[in-house]
Structure 1
Amino acid sequence: MTKSGYIGSYTKKEGKGIYRFVLDESKAAIEKVETGFEIEASTYLARKNQFLYAITKEGERCGIASFRVENDGELVLLNKCLDSVEGTGCYISVSDDGEYLFEAVYGAGIIRLYELDSATGEVVSLIEELKHNYKTGPHERQDHPHVHYAHQTPDKKFVAACDLGTDRIVSYSFNENGYDVAAISEFEAGFGPRHIEFHENGKFAYVVHEIANKVSVTQYVNGHFEEIANYSTLPEEFKGESKLAGVHLSHDQHYLYISNRGHDSIAVFAVNEKGDELEFVEIVPSGDEFPRDFNITEDDNYLVCAHQEGKYKVTVFERHPESGKLSLTDGQHHAAEGVCVIFD
């Protein structure tokens, strides 16, 4: 049996933009990696039904490209909305109803809101481009706001935006007129919140902090995130440079996986039944350099990881459902500058 997916990439060196890969589960290995669509700076992807959305730019103009995914996985370009000159994004997601797209822009410290046509898949317009203006943290990388994530909350009331530069999560309500601030949650100075993974019960969320290399277990209530505890994603004896990156829960909600760039590893934590506590399981090498993102197959049997640097390997891990542990099974294929992994 095979599963297919896409890898988004930088295009600063050898990256092509969007790659398509096929995973052969019978061999626990990647069957092939090919260029899915050559497009500039497609550093994050989002899938909604038969449509795929990608960050892109042309010269100074930045925004989103939309595609229709054909039955054979081919991508057909629908349109582009390049209505900003404030820099390319680093994260995108689509609202549950398919009518809005949220984009986080790290460099400029802004969050964008787009209108989508849920029937055709096209990006209709850029509704708003909102700049963060909060007190920054003490770390040298927190020179100004850096929005790194924007995603709808499980209650579907808000979009939560992680600001690495200001140690905050800002929750917004949104509509056809734009964003309105609904709640602000602050974390310890210098932590640098990057991404959020929500438990399926909607009551707890796991906030990963890029600068501190920690994950916070938080209670989520009506746009607010309150920290319960935090855990390091690195070995205690490690003293080198590392930057936390991707985070994903297994679909059974029993294990949390977090990638470390620099230490070049994936940390594994067990999640208790309630969702409010983590227990360390293991940290395993990712198989190459700078593992910015990975993803887990829907059946929870395999994890596929892309690498932004080194040999750009696409590594495959067999996942052991009972223990959550990972075993490296493949690393023969490559996706240059790969930084985002999604499955069909």
Structure 2
Amino acid sequence: MNLKNLILTITFLLSCNLFSQNTYVFLGSYNRDKSAEAIQVYQLDTLNGKLTKFTSVNNVINPSYLTVSPNGKYVYACTDTKTPNAGSISSFEFNTENKSLTFLNSQQSGGENPVYVSVHKSGKWITNANYTEGSVSVFPILENGKIDSIAQNFQYMDGSTHKERQTRSHVHSAVFSPQYDYLFLPDLGADKIRCYAFDENQKKPLVETKNPFTKTDLEAGPRHFTFHPNQKYGYCIEEMAGQISVYKYENGVLNKIQRIATHPDKIKEGFESSDVHISPDGKFLYATNRGKENNITIFSIDENGLLKNIGYQSTLGKHPRVFAIDESGNFLVASNVQTGNVIVFKRDPKTGLLKKTGKEIKMQDVSCVQIKRI
């Protein structure tokens, strides 16, 4: 090996080591008991997939969904979920030097059973979706990371055709557009993907648009949503129908170009599709199925944004509610609620296929995983 190649190899190894030492995995849970660990944080070694316990926090109930601020200093969680007549959004300070996660404050979520939180790229706003009562709330974030009092709350009453599950609105996520100038709200109960313009400079940033929603197929049950890295396409996973709808995206408008099943044709019922993410290189899409399957469906993405099913991977547990892909694109981490285990998969960047690696983590009723390089 000549000197130039040796220097390049050393530089690459050093950068990989730096990457691995600063990647953290955040796990939320349905802990149901303040004395039990509610959120756990691990370091992810992005060379071998090993998870090492970093810190944890208790004294909160059911932090079912988490997100991390753009600067990595704060964690925000849906708390008091699945708790009658309750629902809150909580903030925590994450300190890598002290290895600590410290509770800062909570605000009422503006509806029962909050299930999703998103932070604006500016770090100045947080939005959340409330499932049971079908609503969205927006809060300013103070300079110290605490959540300020609610700025806006919109509630919806309309449902759809399923007599048991769609008697009213059930907003299941709140997802910013690639430029953070729109907010999309998949509504499982109404078979709609609602949309608002988002003006970060206004005291009430949610602004009604000419296209307030995109209608999905009946009894689809839209749940989670993600955008392609090229910002041209959006992908919505439909919990009830077990489908992914692909949309061409431009300036807050979604136009459907494909709908494809997340499960084999022989599976006609018993599935509950849950989460969807795209690899950082934009070549593959991954979607989780709960119920009978408990697997990850793997799709390739062509240059026109269309999907092709290329395989399935068991999550090696039951009820995979949320998963995440690390920023290097090397690893996918899945959380299984009913079996209380977290599995790290190595992702093949060429084929998109997954292979279990490292040691699995046990956490009772683990409900959410987020990964952040800090």
Partner deviation per Cα, 1:80-125 (whole Å, 9 max, x = no partner)? 22364x31300000112122111001111111111112x3211111
Q: Which amino acid aligns with 1:273?
A: E
- 2:74 paired residue among 25, 28, 51: 51
Alignment TM-score, normalising by the size of structure 1? 0.92
- 2:249 paired residue among 191, 206, 220: 220
1:45–1:83 CA distance, 2 compared to 1 (3 A): closer
Partner deviation per Cα, 1:228-271 (whole Å, 9 max, x = no partner)? 01111111222451100111111111110101011100000011
- 1:147 paired residue among 171, 176, 187: 171
- 1:244 paired residue among 273, 277, 288: 273
Partner deviation per Cα, 1:193-242 (whole Å, 9 max, x = no partner)? 11111012222101110000110110112222111011111112224511
**Which of structure 1's runs of 4+ aligned residues deviate more than 6 A?**
none
Percentage identity across aligned positions? 28
- Aligned equivalents of 1:59, 1:194: Cα separation in 2: 22
Give the structure 1 partner of residue 364 of structure 2. Answer: 336
How many residue pairs end up in the alignment?
Answer: 340
Greater CA drift, 134-143 or 106-115: 134-143
Partner deviation per Cα, 1:260-314 (whole Å, 9 max, x = no partner)? 011100000011134x21111101110100000111111111111111102x111
Give the structure 1 partner of residue 185 of structure 2. Answer: 161
Partner-residue secondary structure (3-state), 1:126: coil
- Aligned equivalents of 1:137, 1:202: Cα separation in 2: 32
Q: Which amino acid aligns with 1:28?
A: G
Q: Which amino acid aligns with 1:56?
A: T
Q: Counting strand residues as a fraction of each chain, which structure ranks higher?
A: 1
Do 2:55 and 2:101's aligned partners in 1 also have CA atoms closer than 8 Å?
no
1:6 is aligned to 2:22: no
1:99–1:32 CA distance, 2 compared to 1 (3 A): closer
- 2:132 paired residue among 81, 92, 107: 107
1:316–1:83 CA distance, 2 compared to 1 (3 A): closer
1:11 positional shift: 2.3
- Aligned equivalents of 2:174, 2:49: Cα separation in 1: 33
Give the structure 1 partner of residue 236 of structure 2. Answer: 207
Q: Equivalent residues in 2 for 1:1-344 (5 A)? A: 1-2=20-21, 3-12=23-32, 16-32=37-53, 35-48=56-69, 49=71, 50-57=73-80, 60-72=85-97, 73-82=99-108, 84=110, 86-117=111-142, 119-138=143-162, 140-174=164-198, 175-177=202-204, 179-182=206-209, 183=211, 184-262=213-291, 263-274=293-304, 276-310=305-339, 312-330=340-358, 332-344=360-372
1:308–1:45 CA distance, 2 compared to 1 (3 A): same
Do 1:16 and 1:40's aligned partners in 2 also have CA atoms closer than 8 Å?
no
- Aligned equivalents of 2:105, 2:32: Cα separation in 1: 23
Alignment TM-score, normalising by the size of structure 2? 0.85
Q: Counting helix residues as a fraction of each chain, which structure ranks higher?
A: 2
Greater CA drift, 190-199 or 35-44: 35-44
- Aligned equivalents of 1:245, 1:298: Cα separation in 2: 21
Q: Which amino acid aligns with 1:20?
A: V
1:61–1:133 CA distance, 2 compared to 1 (3 A): closer
Partner deviation per Cα, 1:169-201 (whole Å, 9 max, x = no partner)? 111124423533312110111111111110122
Residue ranges of structure 1 left out of the alignment (5+ in a row): none
Give the root-mean-square deviation of aligned CA atoms: 2.1
Q: Which amino acid aligns with 1:248?
A: H
Do 2:229 and 2:281's aligned partners in 1 also have CA atoms closer than 8 Å?
no
